[in-house]
C-alpha cells in the first residue's frame, strides 16, 4: 500500500440539506398552521376562509384540521368582523383576520384606525390589540378600479399599526409568524400576483423581525428600493441594466414599511449616491414620496442626482388589459428612471 493510500480518509458523505420549495400561498398556510398549533389563542376569521378554503386558497385544509371554532367563516361585513377581531384581541386572543381584498378594508377603517391602532394608546398601554389583518392587493388581474388597489401608503401613515409587505415565500412565512406573535395590530399586505411565486422556505421556527430590510442584489451605481411585487420588477430591471448598460444597481426590499429599516437604505444611498423608488401605488402621497423625502432629508450631501420615483399611473385602475398594464410600473420604467438618475455619470 502506498503512503498516499495509507493516509487517505473516506470521503465525507454529502450532508447538503434540501430546502423545501413552496409557493407563497403554501408558505403563508404553513405559518398559520404552525402558529395555531403552537398557541391555542390564535384563530383565523374572515370571508370564505373555511368551507371555500380562502379566496386565494391560503387557508386550504385548515378548517378540517382545526375545526369551526378556530377557522371561522364570517358574513360579508368587514366593519363587523374586523371589529369582532379587535374585541377578541383585547380579550386576550390572537385573531388573524382575512379580508378578501385590500379594497374592502375601507369598509373597516373606523375599526382599524380608531380602534385597533388607537386603543393601546387610549388605555395607556394597559390593553393590547394583538391581531393581524391580512389584505391581498395589487393590480394585474383585470379586476377593475375597486379590486386592484395598493394601499401600503394609507396604512403606513397611521401610528400604532405595523405594516408588512412580504415579497418571497420564505419572508411571507417568517413575517407572518412574527406578526401573529406581536402584541401590536399588524397590517399584512399580500400581493395577489405573488401567491403562486415559488421559493425556498427553510424548515423550522424561523421568525423574520420587523424593521430589517433585505438587500436582494448588491451594486455600486444606484440604489433601487422596490415595494412588494416591485421588488421583483426592480431586480429584473437591475439585471438588464447590468447586461446592457453596465450599471450595477443595488436592490433593496424593505419587507416592512412600519417599522422601516431606513438605515439600510441610507447606507446604500451613501455608497451609490443615487436612489430610485419603485411602487405600484399612486404617486401623490405614496410610499415613494415618503422615502424620497427621508432620503433627501438625511442623505442630501451624498446625492449626486435627485431621487427618482416610479409609480402606478395617477388614474383609476382600468379593466382593459392593455390599459391596466400601461397603468402599472414595469422593468422599462425602472430602467428609464435609473438612466435619468445616472445621466452623465458614466
Q: What pLDDT is stored for residue 17 in this prediction? A: 76
Least confident window among 9-23, 90-104, 124-138, 255-269: 9-23
C-alpha closest to that of 31 among 165, 129, 169:
169
pLDDT for 346 beyond 90: no
Judge whether 145 lies within some domain: yes
Instruction: State pLDDT tens for residues 286-303.
Output: 999 999 999 999 999 999
User: CATH no. for residue 34?
Assistant: 3.40.50.970
Catalytic member of 35, 47, 78, 192: 78
Give the pLDDT of residue 345.
Answer: 66
User: Which pLDDT band holds residue 4 (cuts at 50, 70, 90)?
Assistant: very low
pLDDT on residue 12: 54
Q: Are residues 36 and 183 in the same domain?
A: yes
Cα–Cα distance measured from residue 243 to residue 146, given in angstroms and rounded to the nearest whole number:
39
**Residue 12 forms part of a structural domain:** no
Query: Are residues 266 and 237 located together in one domain of the fold?
Result: yes
46 Cβ contact list (under 8 Å, min separation 6):
72, 73, 74, 81, 97, 98, 99, 100, 134
Whether 147 is a known active-site residue: answer: yes
For residue 7, pLDDT beyond 50: no
User: What is the CATH number for 230?
Assistant: 3.40.50.920
Residue 6 pLDDT > 70: no
> Are 294 and 179 contained in the same domain?
no
Neighbours of 183 (CB within 10 A): 12
Q: Which of 147, 149, 191, 232 is catalytic?
A: 147
Q: Average pLDDT, stretch 274-279?
A: 98
Q: Give the mean pLDDT of the chain.
A: 94
Query: 26 and 90 share a domain?
Result: yes
Shortest CA distance to 131 belongs to which of 171, 175, 87?
A: 87
Do 194 and 144 have their domain in common? yes
11 lies in some domain: no
105-157 confidence digits (pLDDT tens): 999 999 999 999 999 999 999 999 999 999 999 999 999 999 999 999 999 99
Whether residues 225 and 308 share a domain: the answer is yes
Q: Does residue 191 carry a catalytic annotation?
A: no
Q: What is the pLDDT of residue 5?
A: 40
Q: Are residues 50 and 194 in the same domain?
A: yes
Task: Name the residue range of residue 175's domain.
Answer: 21-200
Q: Please report whether residue 13 resides in a domain.
A: no
Check whether residue 36 and residue 149 sit in a common domain. yes
Q: Is 73 part of a structural domain of the chain?
A: yes
What pLDDT shows up at residue 223? 98
pLDDT score at 14: 59
The answer to whether residues 218 and 196 belong to one domain is no
Residue 257, helix vs strand vs coil: strand
User: Is residue 49 a contact partner of residue 98, using CB atoms and an 8 Å limit?
Assistant: yes
Q: How many domains does the chain have?
A: 2
* Tens digits of residue pLDDT in 15-41: 677 899 999 999 999 999 999 999 999
| Residues 297 and 166 both lie in one domain | no
Q: Are residues 223 and 178 in the same domain?
A: no
Amino acid at each position: 500500500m502506498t503512503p498516499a493510500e495509507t493516509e487517505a480518509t473516506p470521503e465525507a458523505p454529502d450532508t447538503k440539506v434540501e430546502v423545501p420549495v413552496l409557493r407563497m400561498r403554501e408558505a403563508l398556510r404553513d405559518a398559520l398552521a404552525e402558529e395555531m398549533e403552537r398557541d391555542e389563542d390564535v384563530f383565523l376569521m374572515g370571508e370564505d376562509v373555511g368551507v371555500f378554503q380562502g379566496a386565494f386558497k391560503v387557508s386550504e385544509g385548515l378548517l378540517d384540521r382545526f375545526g369551526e371554532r378556530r377557522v371561522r367563516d364570517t358574513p360579508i361585513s368587514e366593519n363587523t368582523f374586523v371589529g369582532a377581531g379587535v374585541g377578541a384581541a383585547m380579550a386576550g386572543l390572537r385573531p388573524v383576520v382575512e379580508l378578501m381584498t385590500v379594497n374592502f378594508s375601507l369598509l373597516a377603517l373606523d375599526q382599524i384606525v380608531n380602534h385597533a391602532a388607537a386603543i393601546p394608546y387610549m388605555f395607556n398601554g394597559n390593553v393590547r390589540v394583538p391581531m393581524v389583518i391580512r389584505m391581498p392587493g395589487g393590480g394585474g388581474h383585470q379586476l377593475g378600479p375597486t379590486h386592484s388597489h395598493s394601499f401600503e401608503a394609507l396604512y403606513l401613515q397611521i401610528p400604532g399599526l405595523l405594516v408588512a409587505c412580504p415579497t418571497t415565500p420564505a419572508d411571507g412565512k417568517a413575517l407572518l409568524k412574527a406578526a401573529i406573535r406581536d402584541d401590536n395590530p399588524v397590517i399584512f399586505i399580500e400581493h395577489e400576483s405573488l401567491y403562486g411565486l415559488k421559493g425556498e422556505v427553510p424548515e423550522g421556527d424561523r421568525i423574520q423581525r420587523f424593521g430589517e430590510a433585505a438587500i436582494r442584489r448588491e451594486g455600486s451605481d444606484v440604489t433601487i428600493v422596490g415595494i412588494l411585487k416591485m421588488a421583483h420588477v426592480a431586480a429584473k430591471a437591475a439585471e438588464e441594466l447590468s447586461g446592457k448598460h453596465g450599471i450595477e444597481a443595488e436592490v433593496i426590499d424593505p419587507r416592512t414599511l412600519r417599522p422601516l429599516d431606513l438605515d439600510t437604505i441610507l447606507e446604500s444611498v451613501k455608497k451609490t449616491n443615487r436612489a430610485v423608488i419603485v411602487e405600484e401605488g399612486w404617486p401623490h402621497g405614496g410610499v415613494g414620496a415618503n422615502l424620497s423625502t427621508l432620503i433627501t432629508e438625511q442623505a442630501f450631501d451624498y446625492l449626486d442626482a435627485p431621487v427618482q420615483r416610479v409609480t402606478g399611473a395617477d388614474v383609476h385602475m382600468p379593466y382593459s388589459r392593455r390599459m391596466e398594464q400601461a397603468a402599472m410600473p414595469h422593468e422599462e420604467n425602472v430602467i428609464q428612471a435609473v438612466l435619468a438618475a445616472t445621466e452623465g455619470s458614466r
